[in-house]
Amino acid sequence: MQSQPSVITRRLGSFLLLALLATSLVACASSPRERLASRLVEYEAVAGEPVDGFNFFTLQRFELLGPQTIAVWTRVNKVFLIDVQRPCPGLEFAGGIGVSSSQNRVSTRFDAVQFNRERCQIRQIRPIDSRALKARLKARY
């Protein structure tokens, strides 16, 4: 005949299970700024040297990476990391952006990222190795 666990043993087991769940939830949780900073590290790891500009015909997509940094895709595998001049209030919360250009070319110091009636001048442009980025993100996430 099996003996039944005591009330204390059951409560201790329940407490330990709840403590384990709470610990795992805290470990998984991170603030939006921490997630952006983590993604920015991945992009910077595969960014090339700064360039003066790039040819631009259409904005395929973008990703906000911080208060002054975005990644823009001009084609499926053509990605650029753009840093804008400070301050650029609200960029990290923009739901959509535009990028100015002259004669289909985006240039540092002349062009800007535009959103919500704001215009932030581009300070630096770095090309991204898109294949290396995909591999890093796949390995990490």
- 112-115 and 118-128 strand pairing: antiparallel
Domain membership of residue 24 (yes or no) is: no
Domain membership of residue 80 (yes or no) is: yes
Q: Which residue range is the domain that position 61 belongs to? A: 32-140
Please report which confidence band the pLDDT of residue 14 belongs to, taking 50, 70 and 90 as the band edges: low
d(Cα 109, Cα 77) in Å, to the nearest integer?
25
Domain membership of residue 6 (yes or no) is: no
Domain membership of residue 20 (yes or no) is: no
Domain membership of residue 53 (yes or no) is: yes
Is residue 5 predicted with pLDDT exceeding 70? Answer: no
Q: 6 versus 27: which is more confidently predicted?
A: 6
Helix axes 32-45, 130-140, angle to 10 degrees: 140
Domain membership of residue 98 (yes or no) is: yes
pLDDT digits (tens, 9 = 90+) for 87-133: 899 998 899 999 999 999 999 989 999 999 999 999 999 999 999 99
Q: Please report, as a single letter, which amino acid is at residue 72.
A: V
Domain membership of residue 77 (yes or no) is: yes
Domain membership of residue 8 (yes or no) is: no
What is the distance, to the nearest Å, from the Cα of residue 47 to the centroid of all Cα atoms in its chain? 14
How many domains does the structure of the chain reveal?
A: 1
pLDDT of residue 137: 86
pLDDT digits (tens, 9 = 90+) for 31-67: 877 888 899 999 999 999 999 999 999 999 999 998 9
